[in-house]
């Protein structure tokens, strides 16, 4: 049985979290501010950085991890993400299909 983590250990988690978060959002902002990459690459990097940053926040600030006693919340979050993917993904699929049939093509 591990000892309850001390103040310093827990503080470290927050510090790691804030450093990673600053780095990840910094990359995204830098790409848009100085646009060194193509639009396509920029959008991809922003998306990936956002997803990673969300994970960092969940791990370091909300303390959700894979340990046994967090299973309840983890499965709740995973189920929520599934529902959201169904809803949002389905909506975009439907919407794109409608738009493609409604509007004259760009060419």
Cβ pair 52, 44 in contact under 8 A: no
The residue among 31 and 66 lying less far from another protein, judged by its C-beta, is: 31
**Separation between Cα atoms, residue 15 and residue 8, nearest integer Å:** 10
- Which residues sit at the interface with another protein, rule CB under 8 A? 1, 4, 7, 10-11, 14, 17-18, 21-22, 25, 28-29, 31-33, 35, 39, 42-43, 46-47, 49-50, 53-54, 57-58, 61-64, 69-70, 72-73, 76-77, 80, 83-84, 86-88, 90-95, 97-98, 100-102
Cα–Cα distance for residue pair 8/42, rounded to 1 Å: 37
d(CA 58, CA 82): 17
State the minimum distance, in angstroms, from the CB of residue 10 to another protein. 6
């Amino acid at each position: 049985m591990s000892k309850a983590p001390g103040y310093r250990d827990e503080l470290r988690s927050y510090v790691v979290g804030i450093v990673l978060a600053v780095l990840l959002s910094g990359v995204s902002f830098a790409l848009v501010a100085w646009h060194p990459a193509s639009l396509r690459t920029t959008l991809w990097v922003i998306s990936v950085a956002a997803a990673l940053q969300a994970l960092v926040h969940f791990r370091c600030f909300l303390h959700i991890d894979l340990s046994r006693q967090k299973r309840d919340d983890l499965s709740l979050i995973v189920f929520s993400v599934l529902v959201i993917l169904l809803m949002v993904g389905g909506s975009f699929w439907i919407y794109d299909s409608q738009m493609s049939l409604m509007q004259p093509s760009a060419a």
